[in-house]
Structure 1
Amino acid sequence: MKAEIINIHTLENYKLAIKREDLLFPDISGNKFRKLKYQIEKILMSDTRTLLTFGGAYSNHIAAVAAAGKKYQFKTIGIIRGEELGGGVSENATLSFAREQGMQLEFISREAYRMKESQTTIDDLKERYGDFYLIPEGGTNALAVKGCEEILTSDDASYDYICISVGTGGTLAGIVSSALPHQQVLGFSALKGTFQKEVVSIYTSNSNYKIVDDYNFGGYAKIDTVLVRFINEFKIAHKIQLDPVYTGKMMYGIYDLMEKQYFKENSRILAIHTGGLQGIAGMNETLKRKKLPRII
């Protein structure tokens, strides 16, 4: 499956295009579709018809898993970080959507959430829910990386740089694995730090990439008026919506690096739009409470 590529006119020394992975499916878009593709196939061929996973209040992964469960008719369970969220699902667009898709939500404390991958926690969950197929927070595992390897196709061979937003590192691992030898992959971390290198090294020995966290805007899901203004101006100029957690930060970083002449002259740059647009509603609620400009 190929995503549409849109050329964007920018500085005269560079040619920038954006690959619209976000348009693949309305509710399972971008890298979330890629990450879930082979995992869904495995579930549909097995006797286990329940998928359990983890996520936060505005998790793209939670929303995508819930939508996949409804579409392909298997049960989904979401273990959500934050006990206090249980009483306000109707006020949270992501969690409301997940519940509407049929996902069973369980809210646990942040302390308990930090232990979510322990064997004790998994055994306890199986005692309560029975057998289930487990996907980690963010969806990254070997099957997810395999799906993300398919983001790049032969149509992308002419690009010198491949840019991708980075969360847990699974999508980046797939891109790095499938990029051609002449291509440099640049990952824009949405979080502080470049710990995702450890994740990439699990799945590929390729070293044709770099992770930068200079554009995380203070950390995961953090945002300010500068980023909001950039996202809104980008939408007006190009008719393309960016999300505030991932792709907005990536595109801001790309533009800044072009201005700083980071890329080689006359380079062709491809930015991957990984979706995540469902999180805008929740972010706008946060911006409203802080009396800051909202994303249009």
Structure 2
Amino acid sequence: MNYTNSPIEKITFNNNSFYIKRDDLLHKDFSGNKARKFYYFLQKDLIGIKKIVSHGSAQSNAMYSLSVLAKIKGTSFDYYVDHIASFLKDNPTGNYKYALENGMNIYEKEVPNNFEDDVLFIKEGGALNEAQFGLKILADEIKIWAEENSIKNLKVFLPSGTGTTALYLQKYLPYEVITCACVGNEEYLKKQFFQLENSNHPKILAKTKKYHFGKLYKEFYEIHLRLLEQTNIKFDLLYDSLGIKLFEEYIRNDNKTSNNYLYIHQGGIIGNESMLQRYKNKYKEL
């Protein structure tokens, strides 16, 4: 099964041309940045591990990816959340639905402080040192592609949650890595960086407007539709709509016409099921 070496395409969106690394095409069940973050555990022989435990939101991409990893490895999977919306409980969809189908046990309570030796605990969103194993492979793929195609003055962009992917890409790439904070603000993202690495951090683009993670914004849905129409590529509604918006602004304001840009598509498409339903419920005209 192919969990590495995704293709790179050149696309045009709103008259801006850039390359896109299609990590959404890695594997139908294990793709995007979570496949990269958890690649270390996929390759590792988890002898003695009977359970994988993690925590986060009830529609997390990491939650679904870990449910796939547990299924592949033949372990059980426990996941802890603060809250599951009653509507979601009654109408399972997206990452929540498919993680349950993979055998996930989900608990609405705090994560235990201690675990037995046969438990593999993975921090929310995959923000852990082991993530750099798979992300170094991603960085190497980008370097080889750029060298083989004589791509000069490359800048790499991707939106961030915990920022782990952007951080380790900057560690292993000779190009500038640029990101934006989707979950919290810029200060939150900087703190996430420092928890893993003390230096060589990616550049963070400041948001011109305050957005709350998970909240519905009609402009995000419209960007999502335009992306699909112009590129024929499905993007994630939570991260990519904001990411592409800020990426476009950056390209427009970048005075160096000799620069080349690479956008990392980090998957997360399964989560669109629940997001699209929420958008249609809120905006009846959609």
TM-score normalized by structure 2? 0.86
Task: Show CA shifts across 1:89-144 (max 9, x none).
Answer: 54333222111111111122xxx4xxx4xxxx323xx48xx841100110110111
Corresponding residue of 1:2: 5
1:191 has 2:183 as partner: yes
For 1:156, the aligned partner's letter is A
User: 1:34 aligned to 30, 33, 36, which one?
Assistant: 36
CA contact (8 A) 1:189 1:215 kept: no
User: Which consecutive residues of structure 1, in runs of 5 or more, have no partner in the other structure?
Assistant: none
Corresponding residue of 2:113: 122
Alpha-carbon distance, 1:156 to partner? 3.2
CA contact (8 A) 2:167 2:201 kept: no
Q: In structure 1, how many angstroms separate the alpha carbons of the residues matched to 2:131 and 2:40?
A: 7
Classify 1:215/1:191 alpha carbon distance in 2 versus 1 (closer, same or farther; 3 Å). farther
For 2:127, the aligned partner's letter is T
Alpha-carbon distance, 1:276 to partner? 0.7
Q: In structure 1, how many angstroms separate the alpha carbons of the residues matched to 2:126 and 2:255?
A: 31
Q: Which runs of 4+ in 1 moved over 6 A?
A: none
Corresponding residue of 1:67: 68
Alpha-carbon distance, 1:233 to partner? 1.0
Corresponding residue of 2:257: 265
When structure 1 is superposed on structure 2, of 79-88 and 28-37 the one drifting more is 79-88
3-state DSSP of counterpart to 2:254:
coil
3-state DSSP of counterpart to 1:149:
helix
> How many residues matched?
275
Classify 1:148/1:103 alpha carbon distance in 2 versus 1 (closer, same or farther; 3 Å). same
Classify 1:236/1:84 alpha carbon distance in 2 versus 1 (closer, same or farther; 3 Å). closer
User: Which consecutive residues of structure 2, in runs of 5 or more, have no partner in the other structure?
Assistant: none
Corresponding residue of 2:162: 168
Task: Show CA shifts across 1:183-217 (max 9, x none).
Answer: 21111221231222233344445536211241786
3-state DSSP of counterpart to 2:34:
helix
Q: How does 1:81-230 map to 2 (within 5 A)?
A: 81-82=82-83, 84-85=85-86, 88=89, 90-108=91-109, 112=110, 116=111, 121-123=112-114, 126=115, 131-152=118-139, 153=141, 154-157=144-147, 158=151, 160-180=154-174, 183-194=175-186, 195-204=188-197, 206-207=199-200, 209-214=202-207, 218-230=211-223
Classify 1:234/1:179 alpha carbon distance in 2 versus 1 (closer, same or farther; 3 Å). same
Alpha-carbon distance, 1:257 to partner? 2.2
When structure 1 is superposed on structure 2, of 137-146 and 79-88 the one drifting more is 79-88
Alpha-carbon distance, 1:45 to partner? 3.5
Corresponding residue of 2:20: 18
Classify 1:87/1:206 alpha carbon distance in 2 versus 1 (closer, same or farther; 3 Å). closer
RMSD: 2.5
Q: In structure 1, how many angstroms separate the alpha carbons of the residues matched to 2:17 and 2:258?
A: 7
User: 1:248 aligned to 241, 248, 251, which one?
Assistant: 241
CA contact (8 A) 1:66 1:102 kept: yes
For 1:18, the aligned partner's letter is I
3-state DSSP of counterpart to 2:162:
coil
